[in-house]
Amino acid sequence: MSELVVKNLHASIEGKEILKGLDLTVRQGEVHAIMGPNATGKSTLAYTLMGHPNYRVTGGEVWFKGQNILELEADERSRLGLFLAFQYPVAIPGVSVANFLRTALNARRRATNPEDKGMPIPEFRKMLKEKMELLKMDSAFAGRYLNDGFSGGEKKRAEILQMATLKPEIAILDETDSGLDIDALRIVAEGVNALTGPNLGALVITHYQRLLNYIKPQFVHIMLDGRIVESGGADLALHLEEQGYDWVREKYENGESGK
């Protein structure tokens, strides 16, 4: 069983420290949620774990499959089995969803075996059709240009389709609920639920309890000022929904620390 282990992680952007000693372990088959007020470092954590070049690691380690992945480039982390679903996916006009996915999949195969000629088109079409049926997506979606003119919900569903195609072992979902109405949120969450299981661990980053009404985490963590300060079960998210974050600030902004 693979596990992502974050130890005392410190990271900054443009000289400003954002992550200030964060510890976290996510295993295959587990669903973790990270919640917290704005500007606490949730998205910084996601980008740092995936190797975004704008985020500079200043301390700590991140272990996955026996390697400190901080020494790896983003594509190497992806091939190792990590995946990041973006909060704001980028449009790529002129590149269809199907072509993008086949290119990504073949690049991963060639990295493992330089002699690999890539997945044959009939085999890829069959696989993609199965994934889209699993996620209850119209087959016409595959022919559209990636995220070009997509609604918020369609962009997030395209991210989930990428996740289904690449089959990571640990997926990081950065505010997947951002910009979604209730119907789109439910559809995207159903897609995530269709993929999670013993072979996939998920780290769900969100502001709101509403996403967790559909994606049920076993573990909930509260992030404040670049650290995880509280951890618990799903009831912790319900407590936040009722009480907000004021009690967290009062407890930890006086210098108390914990996890």
Instruction: Assign domain 3-252 to its CATH architecture.
Output: 3-Layer(aba) Sandwich (3.40)
Q: What 3-state class would DSSP assign to 206?
A: coil
d(CA 120, CA 26): 34
d(CA 144, CA 227): 40
Q: What 3-state class would DSSP assign to 230?
A: strand
- Angle, nearest 10°, between helix axes 182-195 and 152-166? 0
Q: Where are the domains of the chain?
A: 3-252
In this structure, what token pair is assigned to residue 201?
A: 């661990």
Confidence of residue 188 (pLDDT cuts 50, 70, 90): confident
Structure confidence at residue 259 (pLDDT): 42
Structure confidence at residue 256 (pLDDT): 52
Structure confidence at residue 25 (pLDDT): 98
pLDDT at 148 over 80: yes
Q: Is the full-model pTM beyond 0.95?
A: no
Place of tokens 């902004």: 253
Radius of gyration of the chain (CA): 18
Beta bridge partners of 57: 11
Contacts of 230 (CB under 8 A, 6+ apart): 221, 222, 236, 248, 258, 259
Q: What 3-state class would DSSP assign to 221?
A: strand
Confidence of residue 257 (pLDDT cuts 50, 70, 90): very low
By the 8 A CB rule, do 202 and 32 touch? yes
Confidence of residue 208 (pLDDT cuts 50, 70, 90): confident
In this structure, what token pair is assigned to residue 68?
A: 């400190």
Structure confidence at residue 248 (pLDDT): 92
Q: What is the pLDDT of residues 54-74, one digit of tens each?
A: 999 999 999 999 999 999 999
In this structure, what token pair is assigned to residue 136?
A: 């209850």
Burial zone of 183 (CB within 10 Å; 0-12 exposed, 13-18 middle, 19+ buried): exposed
Extract the runs of DSSP E, i.e. beta strands, from the chain: 3-13, 16-27, 31-35, 56-64, 67-68, 82-85, 92-96, 145-146, 170-174, 201-205, 219-224, 227-232
Dihedral in degrees, nearest 10, Cα atoms 91, 70, 33, 27 = 120
Q: Tell me phi and psi for residue 120, to 5 degrees.
A: -55, 145
